[in-house]
Amino acid sequence: MFRNLLPLTALLMGSAFLLFAGGVNGLILPVRGEAEGFTAASLGLLGTGWAIGYVAGCLRTPALVARVGHIRAFGAMCAIAAIAVLLSLILITPWVWIPVRALSGFCFAGAAMIVESWLNERSEAAARGRIFGIYTMVNLVATTAGQMVLTLGDPSGYFFFVLAAMVYCLAMLPTAISATSTPKPLTSVSLNLPKLWKNSPIAVFAVLMVGVSNASFGTLAAVYAARIDLSLSDIALFASIPILAGAAMQIPVGMMSDKLDRRIILIGIAATALIVDALFLFGAFTRPWVVMSLAGLFGATVFSLYPVIVAHANDHAEPGAFIQVSGGLLLVYGIGSIIGPSMAGMAMTAYSASSLFAVTGAAHILLVLFALYRLRIAPAVASGDKTIFQAKPLARMSTPETAALAANAEELESDRAQSSTESVDPEAAALER
């Protein structure tokens, strides 16, 4: 195992630095923005900007890497991300922060895709699952550490902005000085909504609603926590506990979804999340231990929905379409992530902080209703036809390359074979026949 990991150490270190900086940057902006008196609507647009940039990065990075190479592209992404953080410190206004946040999302997605492409290339077939698991764990720990580091200082100064910029620069060093060979071109995924919908309507609709819900919470959780007068350390915990709870729940949820109709599991999880939405919306809880407990339950539900949705979509996918389906659903999630934070921010500005959970609750109600409808009109997938559930990183940390890295050797080979077949000129194929 350690023999397999040794060549990948530089890539894992680069990814850890990248996610640590992203954790710091993602939390300091809403916390500082709230302290500066930004409206919740403008802070919600930070999440919308991030999602736009992230989706654009997933779509455009393969062409950039093909032109300048992996190392140069990765270095550029990290450098621009560092510049974006420092611009946020120099120009403290939402009209600068929103486009700069979009730039950060673009660079973050691009850098993550490059790291994952490298890992995918260097992973031996027998160790792919373990490598992906370690990569996921490294990212989870690094993101949580980046958020929790805010408890060690004053967010009103420059320290955390400079720290995030420095760590973004550190992220480029392991790959810049590594002797690891350059991998093959990146996975390129286009968004084909009619094909995705035909494959699995519930997966498309559910992942859109999960994008609305999860991006709203991920962007504005710190704002909600600040407005109910939690301390800075409690705000950091409120943002981190749901991520950890969601990660912990993926395996038991996955085991249940492998045995039962995945649509029933989706309904159960979303209904539980809806109960938590209602408690946050109407309960007016302010005691930290109560708020943290509810946050943990909320994260355990909403952050375990995405991998069940991907697994259900792949149950219906044609052979050789694993990466295309998973990557396409990620882009649909990105569309939801563009819509959700702006809606939640406007609701919090017009009404109250708890209106955040009116938006997440509406998304969960619609998910439950549509899943119940599909449960009535479409049969369940037979147990023998199901794909094996795989735990996944948070969707906002995933790229099309994540799907390629998560694929087992057979799925990856099948996808490559289908891509090769689709790229063949029909006239040339006819001549060969």
- Of the two residues 395 and 332, the one the predictor is more confident about is 332
- Domain contains 283: yes
CATH of the domain at 265: 1.20.1250.20
Average of pLDDT values for 169-192? 74
- Domain contains 293: yes
The Cα 311–Cα 303 span in angstroms is 14
Structure tokens at 300: 């355990």
The Cα 338–Cα 49 span in angstroms is 7
- Domain contains 322: yes
Q: What is the pLDDT of residues 44-89, one digit of tens each?
A: 999 999 999 999 998 888 888 888 888 888 889 999 999 999 999 9
Residue from 105, 101, 104 nearest 46 by CA: 101
Q: Over 50: is that where the pLDDT of 179 sits?
A: yes
- Domain contains 1: no
- Domain contains 40: yes
- Domain contains 30: yes
Q: What is the pLDDT of residues 297-321, one digit of tens each?
A: 999 999 999 988 988 888 877 766 6
- Domain contains 50: yes
In the chain, what percentage of residues exceed pLDDT 70? 87
Structure tokens at 154: 């004053």
Q: Can you give the pLDDT at residue 427?
A: 40
Write out the residue range of the structural domain in which residue 375 sits: 11-424
Q: Can you give the pLDDT at residue 217?
A: 96
Write down the mean pLDDT value for the chain: 85
Map tokens 């379409």 to a residue. 321
Q: What is the pLDDT of residues 203-251, one digit of tens each?
A: 999 999 999 999 999 999 999 999 999 999 999 999 999 999 998 898 8
| Confidence bin at 368 (pLDDT 50/70/90) | very high
Map tokens 């640590």 to a residue. 20
Q: Can you give the pLDDT at residue 320?
A: 60
- Domain contains 373: yes
- Of the two residues 419 and 145, the one the predictor is more confident about is 145
The Cα 278–Cα 285 span in angstroms is 12
- Residue 28 corresponds to which amino acid? I
Give the number of domains in the chain: 1
